[in-house]
Amino acid sequence: MIKAIDTVYNGYKFRSRLEARWAVFFDALSINYDYEKEGFDLDSTWYLPDFWMPDWNCWIEIKPTILRLRHNFKDKEAYKEPKRELTLCRKLSDGTNKVVLLIGGKPWVRNLNSAPHSSPYYSFEYEIIVFFPNSIMVAKKFNKSLEETGFNLLLEEKGYYDLLDQRFYSSNKENTLYWYIKERYKDSPEFFKKPCPKCGDTFGLIEADREYYLSKFNEPNPKWKYDLAQAGYVFQYNNRKMSLLTELRGRGLQSDNLLEAYSKAQQERFERLK
C-alpha cells in the first residue's frame, strides 16, 4: 500500500499531497476553507471531514480515486456493498443537516482536442458526488428545508429526473419514484402490505420502496442508507461565482480562472517535512 505524504501548506499540515493540492485549487479561486475543523461520532465510527467550506456551508471529503454512484432500481448488485466513503458521507450529511461533497481524484483536467483553432474539450481527473440530507427530500416544504442547510453552491440540472430532483418524488411521469412504485404494485402486489401511496407522498413512496425490496430480497435496501446523492459533477467558475456542472456539460465550459486554478494545483511544489 502506498502511504500518503504529510504536506505543509498555508499553515496547515495536510495528511496527503492530494488534500494539499485541492487546498491550492481553492486558494487560487479565493475560496475559504477550514481543514479538519471538527470530528464526529457517526454510529461509533470516528469521522473527521477534510474541509469545511464556510462560503458554501458544506463539508468536503477528498478521496484519491473517482467513485461512481449508479442509480438503477433493477440492478441489485449496484447497491449490494456500499462503499465506506459513501456510507460515512451519507451519515455526515444527515447528522449535521449539511450538504457533503465527496470529491474523488485530482484537481486538474486534460484538453482532449489538440487540433489548432478548435474549441477545447476536456477530460476531468476528478468527480464530485453531492449528498443532501435525507430530511430535505422527505420534507413537505422542500425549498425551505433546503435553505435551512445554508448550501449556496448552484447545481446545474441534468435534464432528467434523479434523486436530487424534487420532481422525482412529486411527479407521476415515467422514471419517477411514483411511477416505479405503481408499476411494482401492478406486477408484484404480494410484496406490499399497505395500499399504494399517492403521488407526492415522498415519505410513503420511500417506505414502499423499502418494503418492496426487503420483501423481495429478504434484506434492507442499501440504496436508502447513503443515497439521495448524485454523481458526475465538476466545478465551474464564472463571474467570480462557483457552481457545479455535470461532467458532460463541463467538458466545453471551463473558464480561464478555473483552468489557471487547475494548473496551479498541479504544478505546486511543496516543502518536504523533515
Please write the tens of the pLDDT for every residue from 79-128. 445 578 888 998 999 899 999 999 999 999 988 776 666 778 888 999 99
Same domain membership, residue 248 and residue 204: no
Total structural domains in the chain? 2
Same domain membership, residue 199 and residue 85: no
Same domain membership, residue 210 and residue 89: no
Q: Is residue 273 part of a domain?
A: no
Length of the chain counted residue by residue: 274
Same domain membership, residue 172 and residue 128: no
For the segment 120-137, what is each residue's pLDDT rounded down to a tens digit?
Answer: 888 899 999 888 887 776
Domain that holds residue 30: 7-160+229-267
Given 197, 212, 227, the domain boundary residue is 227
Same domain membership, residue 171 and residue 150: no
Confidence of residue 24 (pLDDT cuts 50, 70, 90): very high
Same domain membership, residue 82 and residue 150: yes
Tell how far CA 235 is from the center of its chain.
12
Same domain membership, residue 120 and residue 255: yes
Q: Mean pLDDT over residues 46-74, rounded? A: 83
pLDDT for res 251: 81
CA distances from residue 132 to 58, 59, 76, 84, 135 in whole angstroms, order as listed: 10, 11, 23, 17, 8
pLDDT for res 102: 94
What is the average pLDDT score of the chain? 82
Same domain membership, residue 85 and residue 198: no
